Structure 1
Amino acid sequence: MKAFHAAARPAPERPNGQIATDFLDLVFELESGRSLPVLSRFEGPVSVRVVGARPQLLDAELDRLLARLREEAQIDISRVAGRQPASITLEVVPKRSLQALVPGAACFVAPNVSGWSEYRAKRNRPETDWTQLTTRRRMAVFIPGDVAPQEMRDCLHEEVAQALGPVNDLYRLSDSVFNDDNFHTVLTGFDMLILRAVYAPELHSGMSRETVAARLPEVLARLNPAGGTGTPTDRAPSPRAWKDAIETALAGGSPTSVRRAAATRAVDMARANGWHDTRLAFSLFALGRLNLGINSDLALAAFREAEAIYDSLPDTRLQAAHMGVQLAAHALSLGRGERAMAIVDKHLAAVQSAQNAALLATLLMIKAEALALLGRDAEAQLVRLDSLGWARYGFGSDDEVGARLMEIAAISPVNRS
């Protein structure tokens, strides 16, 4: 199994005015749409403990994450032994138990509790209501330990970050884990800037949105001088109807026909609103995925348009790679090995940088089959072996890795015949 090493992310390229608006929406709103009355954060050093049975890999991933938070977000955060009281308790819970209590959740964070049993006892009480929070003193992060290493790491990054600061997700963000599109899975430079701003000395727990907005220009000018003035700009929120359509399209429990119709509505609304940004592209991505094997022409057209949009934006190379994997697979299915390899090679660097092992393994598997299709068997075997190392991190068990390998191999016309 291969694994990534911690690496600092570049600072965001957007103006500080936009970042200030993003900060306010991330920090003062919940995903449900409810507003938070005040800024809440930890005041003073932050301690983290881990409880529950977990694989060794989790400790290494946590240490890398905390090192990044100290260096990039300038947060005074460190680990303590599992039996000691801590600001953040990271508890490893079997996936089945976690989803039995909170259906559909891969992982989550809860305020004012220090463990699973306490959360179960208090989950519907005022103590665990985010809107009642003024200063953060105890947070609990619950993640599954019986999933692929990448899924466990992804949960670790997003939920620890939310325990520290933002508790909202925004579809408009293209370079952040705080986005329900789930393209980014490790904390980005933008995320670290937001966290650093949350813990800036100019701010403190209990401040209102208006007070924070007044101080943000000074904070962001100091932390991100290349971004210019940090006066918040007006950014219209995404309409609730579009969000509802996207959420229905992504909901695994709904009939496929209902999800396809919802994806179509999302695309239509995005076009009607004149959007040519990540929201239209993501709507097209959802539409394409839901039409695979049903209407291949529509799916392919959706992926191509989405890739063109992502390619036209400055910080969406990873999103473009998710479209690329579909387009490369299509080229492979047509026996166009050179074309499939060109698409894969175009996206490898972005995927490697984003540390998405599952996507990296899939692209390399497609490249291996394309090489085999062209009769370059020795090269194909080397690339395939490389893909397996990443696949074990991205997909977990040997069964899952083998299934993905066979799925990609079945696309090639040589194997189909």
Structure 2
Amino acid sequence: MTAPRAGVTGRRYLALLGLVLLAACAPQTQTQIMPRPDGMVPIQLDFPPMRRFAAPSPRAPSRPNAQIARDFADLSFQLESGRPIPVFTRFEGPITVAFNGAAPAALAADLTALLARLRAEAGIDIRQIQGGDAAIRIELVPPRQLQRAAPGAACFVVPRVRDWAELRRNRQSPLIDWTTLQIREQAAVFIPQDATPQEMRDCLHEELAQALGPLNDLYHLPDSVFNDDNMHAVLTGFDMLILRLTYAPELRSGMTQAEVMALVPGLLARMNPAGAAGRGPVTAPTTRDWTGAVITALGGTATPALRRQAAARAVAIGQARGWTGTRQGFAQYVFGRLQIGTDPGLALGAFNAAAFAYGDDPDLRIHAAHVAAQQAAFALIARDPETILALTAPAITAARDHENAALLSILMMFRAEALDLQGQPEAAMALRLDSLGWGLYGFGDRDAVISRLNEIASLPRLPS
């Protein structure tokens, strides 16, 4: 099936997602970790129930309103491809959402929680119905079919269709072109049916948000799911502000960009009074050569060598243009991931550079936590438990605050290994057991969680 390029907007498949370590996985089992490099007997594990996050605690946007207004314009009046969107569109009136067919219990619960957030934080009149003619329909699709429709996308949303069959019938039609809309009346979100609970939830957050509002993704955003670096798993305080702005009663579908942006400063002053001070720096636009290099580096049909070259090119482009923060940190992170099996020293240098780029910016805590997981692997190989503990303490807090169960579980596993190295086996085991429930949500099943434990336990250790 040809990808319906004009209509698809979605969460990009991050081929580097998941921890890339320096040792192959040990055999999978549901009851033990094997092997233990320190000579310990295999550890028998009793899995707890799947863990889930409680009430969200999104951080309010900290950037000036003038900067947020510029981001709103870029998000709302341009597609990811760079094509302009001629008029402002949204759903008008109450919005209904439904699943096409049955949904896993975890996904159903995540939808309930997300709709409650959209009502409370974004002020959107939205509710779930069972079947019927819902405005937004969510369908789980076999992954091969989804990848044929939109190569490289983990999930996506399409306008003016209700289900997969209708998308197939209209795959060549301007009907599914977002730029032809004058108002939003129907959209469908497609999610791979084999995704983990966390992956389904992450898709749900981004694709439902794009069905409702912004259709673009901007690599420079530090505090948003509308960024193809996929560092944020769930809608942030910034995202909810953007959606609240999208559904302000003063705006309506069919308005031009000039008409909308004439009202946005006043709306932001009312919705986000804390952002009134200052204008903030004007962020240089992300150029197509950098984006193209990153997309090549992340996967697709490119060879490993070409991917490494593309990542190095993205780093060089950012350095030449003086970029810092999200874009340069992400380029270094991707470069480091691709160098692990080829040049570990170069990989560690890239991770350290990524950590420096992210710095102590509170908007980039989750980005730094992803890097910390990679740095912890090197510290474990070096038998340096103090560094692991120093890296994982703030990273665990960030992963928990940003509701990333997969990352939280991995960080706990590393911290448990550090405690073992310090001669604290009871504390290590307690933390390791705590990681399992989060791992079930993040990785999907016991075998996948055991695989992550095996990867970390099987890392080679330098002589002490």
TM-score when normalising by structure 1: 0.96
Tell me if structure 2 keeps the 8 A contact 1:39–1:209: yes
Q: Distance in 2 between matches of 1:229 and 1:217?
A: 12
Residue 201 of structure 1 corresponds to which residue in structure 2? Answer: 249
Is 1:357 the counterpart of 2:439 in the alignment?
no
Residue 330 of structure 1 corresponds to which residue in structure 2? Answer: 378
Residue 74 of structure 1 corresponds to which residue in structure 2? Answer: 123
Is 1:60 the counterpart of 2:109 in the alignment?
yes
Q: Distance in 2 between matches of 1:280 and 1:10?
A: 23
Residue 254 of structure 1 corresponds to which residue in structure 2? Answer: 302
What SS does the corresponding residue of 2:52 show, helix, strand or coil?
coil
Match of 1:87 among 135, 155, 169: 135
Instruction: Spell out, residue by residue over 1:181-202, the C-alpha distance to the aligned partner (whole angstroms, 9 max, x if none).
Output: 0000100000000000000011
Instruction: Spell out, residue by residue over 1:146-193, the C-alpha distance to the aligned partner (whole angstroms, 9 max, x if none).
Output: 221000000000000000001110000011000000000100000000
Is 1:387 the counterpart of 2:435 in the alignment?
yes
Q: Distance in 1 between matches of 2:144 and 2:446?
A: 20
Instruction: Spell out, residue by residue over 1:326-363, the C-alpha distance to the aligned partner (whole angstroms, 9 max, x if none).
Output: 11111111111122122111211111000111111100
What SS does the corresponding residue of 1:413 show, helix, strand or coil?
coil
Q: Distance in 2 between matches of 1:36 and 1:232?
A: 26
Q: Distance in 2 between matches of 1:335 and 1:279?
A: 32
Match of 1:128 among 176, 184, 188: 176
Instruction: Spell out, residue by residue over 1:48-85, the C-alpha distance to the aligned partner (whole angstroms, 9 max, x if none).
Output: 11112321111100000000000000000001112x10
1:374 deviates by 1.9
Distance change in 2, residues 1:229/1:28 (3 Å): farther
* One-letter amino acid of the counterpart of residue 385, structure 2: G
Q: Distance in 2 between matches of 1:38 and 1:232?
A: 27
Distance change in 2, residues 1:197/1:231 (3 Å): farther
Instruction: Spell out, residue by residue over 1:5-63, the C-alpha distance to the aligned partner (whole angstroms, 9 max, x if none).
Output: 23141210000011001001101111111010001000100011111232111110000
Map residues 244-323 of structure 1 onto 2, 5 A cutoff: 244-323=292-371
Residue 222 of structure 1 corresponds to which residue in structure 2? Answer: 270
Q: Relative CO higher for 1 or 2, CA cutoff 8 Å, sep ≥ 6?
A: 2
Q: Distance in 2 between matches of 1:211 and 1:412?
A: 61
Q: Distance in 2 between matches of 1:47 and 1:233?
A: 39
What SS does the corresponding residue of 2:139 show, helix, strand or coil?
strand
1:207 deviates by 0.7
Q: Percent identity?
A: 53
Distance change in 2, residues 1:78/1:258 (3 Å): same
Match of 2:85 among 36, 53, 56: 36
1:245 deviates by 1.0
Tell me if structure 2 keeps the 8 A contact 1:24–1:209: yes
| Count, aligned residues | 415
* One-letter amino acid of the counterpart of residue 44, structure 1: G
Tell me if structure 2 keeps the 8 A contact 1:19–1:230: no
* Structure 2: segments with no counterpart, 5+ residues: 1-49
1:272 deviates by 0.7
* One-letter amino acid of the counterpart of residue 245, structure 1: A
Q: Distance in 2 between matches of 1:8 and 1:206?
A: 34
Structure 1 stretch displaced more, 85-94 or 160-169 = 85-94
* One-letter amino acid of the counterpart of residue 322, structure 1: H
Q: Distance in 2 between matches of 1:318 and 1:252?
A: 26
Q: Distance in 1 between matches of 2:383 and 2:78?
A: 49
1:275 deviates by 1.5
* One-letter amino acid of the counterpart of residue 183, structure 1: M
Residue 17 of structure 1 corresponds to which residue in structure 2? Answer: 66
Q: Distance in 2 between matches of 1:392 and 1:236?
A: 40
1:293 deviates by 2.3
1:103 deviates by 2.5
Instruction: Spell out, residue by residue over 1:306-331, the C-alpha distance to the aligned partner (whole angstroms, 9 max, x if none).
Output: 11221243410100011111111111
* Structure 1: segments with no counterpart, 5+ residues: none
Residue 170 of structure 1 corresponds to which residue in structure 2? Answer: 218
Tell me if structure 2 keeps the 8 A contact 1:217–1:231: no
Map residues 339-358 of structure 1 onto 2, 5 A cutoff: 339-358=387-406
1:97 deviates by 2.5
Q: Distance in 1 between matches of 2:421 and 2:214?
A: 48
1:284 deviates by 0.7
* One-letter amino acid of the counterpart of residue 339, structure 1: T
Tell me if structure 2 keeps the 8 A contact 1:20–1:231: no
RMSD: 1.7
Q: Distance in 2 between matches of 1:233 and 1:201?
A: 29
Q: Distance in 2 between matches of 1:43 and 1:24?
A: 20
